[in-house]
């Protein structure tokens, strides 16, 4: 049980870390809570996956656990004054397969929310929302699921606002990169050492470090000699490209009230792709089909996937192949309309994956005092308002057996070949060729 006077070092100020601090400080206002991140929370650029222009807010899951949790989070987004300004309830238009749609409907019915969600034949769905998706590619699409209560969140703005709130409540923030974990003679985790050489101590160290987690555990295993710290096959760092176009007045008039558009989990196995409505700056966003890993030797003889070593993860350096990936996705939704648009912004976003896309929210089995809360698998943001509540339950050893098993550090893991969103290609194979000669 985590006592009220415990001290907490939370590494990573994305949605897992900030939500954990948010729920901890409210439940234990006298606890010492320190949030550590390589970037300032209000920096113009951050590497956190949750620092983004916008993210999808939906509860349309075939998995009943995530459906229920997402509805819980959505209810916070629609009712709480802290969260409500950042949620745009534009609706969602999902081109999917029959089985996926059926299971989503069943989950909503079980929770008494079946009025929120409807299914449509493709030909009827094409006419909805002013025909915005009439030219979409419906290959292998069996039905269209429409949920008018879903939408999107102004992600970076919301993350910053909630972080400001927890600082007002007494959470401390340290803007330094964590180099390794620290341990005492009994191998208990006692804190972290930053790249600047500073040491931060706490009775509970919670890693909410996303795509950096496997590398951090490798570095800590090498420095401590605790080989079993390593993530091994539990976690894989993966990247995806996003792109945006700025709409002119005519296009904005048509697209201003559009829903989130998603295609995926169709009759053909393929990663799901999506398009988000325009932001306040009239920028419409897509994410690509290619989800990739970046396998590197982080310590001698140890190879793991991790974001590029640059301080900003080289997130703005987008190859021709990855730009083409975004352009191809734009035509999936808007056909010939997309050919008129110039994609002006691109970013590579990194996250931590598990083979089943389930989170890890659990004590680390090797070291007392060390806890893991990460692995959003590119679907974690929508749980921002509530996920920290479950991390706190994990720290208190009060997490339900169902969730404790689903999110355990050591658990049975399915083969990733069944996961269409699993990072399956190497980033190096998607980069532009390096010119070797000036001849």
**What Å distances lie between residue 253 and 54, 56, 124, 247, CA to CA?**
20, 22, 23, 9
pLDDT band at 115 (very low <50, low <70, confident <90, very high): confident
In the predicted structure, residue 287 carries a pLDDT above the cut 70 = yes
pTM: 0.96
- Mean pLDDT, the chain, rounded, equals 95
Average pLDDT, integer, range 281-290 = 94
Tens digit of each residue's pLDDT (9 = 90 or more) over 169-226 = 999 999 999 999 999 999 999 999 999 999 999 999 999 999 999 999 999 999 999 9
* Angle of the 384-395 helix axis to the 15-27 helix axis, nearest 10: 60
pLDDT, residue 271, reads 80
154 versus 3: the higher-pLDDT residue is 154
In the predicted structure, residue 437 carries a pLDDT above the cut 60 = no
Distance linking the first and last C-alpha atoms of the chain: 67
> How far is residue 77's CA from residue 89's CA, in Å, rounded to a whole number?
10
pLDDT, residue 268, reads 80
Secondary structure (3-state) at 422: coil
CA angle 190, 193, 196 (to 5 degrees): 160
Tens digit of each residue's pLDDT (9 = 90 or more) over 31-75 = 999 999 999 999 999 999 999 999 999 999 999 999 999 999 999
288 exposure class (CB count in 10 Å sphere: 0-12, 13-18, 19+): buried
Tens digit of each residue's pLDDT (9 = 90 or more) over 356-385 = 999 999 999 999 999 999 999 999 999 999
Q: Could you count the other beta carbons within 10 Å of the beta carbon of residue 420? A: 18
pLDDT, residue 270, reads 76
In the predicted structure, residue 3 carries a pLDDT above the cut 60 = no
> How far is residue 107's CA from residue 67's CA, in Å, rounded to a whole number?
7
């Amino acid at each position: 049980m985590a006592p009220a006077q415990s001290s907490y070092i939370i590494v990573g100020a994305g949605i897992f870390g900030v939500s954990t601090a948010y729920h901890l400080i409210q439940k234990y206002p006298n606890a010492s809570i320190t949030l550590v991140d390589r970037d300032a929370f209000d920096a113009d650029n951050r590497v956190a996956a949750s620092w983004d222009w916008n993210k999808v807010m939906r509860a349309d899951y075939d998995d009943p656990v995530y459906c229920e949790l997402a509805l819980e989070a959505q209810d916070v987004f629609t009712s709480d004054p802290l969260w409500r300004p950042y949620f745009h309830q534009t609706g969602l238009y999902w081109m999917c397969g029959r089985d996926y749609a059926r299971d989503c409907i069943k989950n909503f019915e079980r929770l008494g929310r079946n009025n929120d969600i409807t299914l449509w034949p493709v030909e009827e769905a094409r006419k909805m929302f002013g025909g915005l998706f009439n030219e979409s590619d419906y290959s292998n699409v069996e039905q269209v699921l429409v949920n008018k209560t879903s939408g999107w969140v102004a992600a970076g703005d919301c993350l910053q606002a909630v972080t400001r709130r927890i600082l007002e409540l007494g959470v401390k923030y340290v803007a330094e990169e964590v180099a390794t974990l620290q341990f005492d003679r009994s191998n208990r985790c006692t804190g972290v050492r930053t790249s600047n050489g500073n040491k931060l101590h706490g009775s509970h160290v919670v890693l909410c470090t996303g795509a950096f987690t496997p590398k951090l555990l490798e570095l800590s295993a090498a420095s401590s000699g605790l080989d079993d710290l390593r993530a091994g096959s539990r976690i894989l760092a993966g990247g995806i490209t996003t792109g945006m176009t700025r709409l002119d007045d005519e296009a904005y008039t048509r697209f201003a009230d559009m829903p989130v558009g998603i295609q995926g989990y169709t009759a053909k196995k393929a990663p799901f792709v999506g398009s988000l409505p325009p932001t306040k700056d009239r920028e419409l966003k897509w994410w690509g089909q290619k989800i990739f890993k970046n396998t590197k030797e982080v310590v001698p003889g140890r190879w793991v996937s991790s974001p590029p070593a640059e301080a900003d993860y080289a997130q703005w350096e987008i190859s021709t192949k990855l730009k083409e990936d975004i352009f191809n996705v734009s035509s999936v939704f808007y056909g010939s309309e997309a050919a008129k648009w110039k994609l002006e912004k691109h970013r590579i976003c990194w996250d931590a994956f598990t083979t089943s896309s389930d989170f890890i929210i659990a004590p680390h089995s090797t070291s007392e005092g060390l806890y893991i809360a990460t692995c959003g698998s590119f679907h974690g943001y929508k749980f921002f308002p509530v996920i920290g509540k479950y991390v706190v339950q994990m720290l208190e050893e009060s997490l339900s057996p169902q969730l404790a098993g689903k999110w355990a550090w050591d658990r049975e893991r399915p083969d990733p070949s069944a996961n269409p969103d699993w990072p399956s290609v190497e980033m190096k194979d998607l980069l532009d060729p390096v010119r070797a000669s000036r001849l």
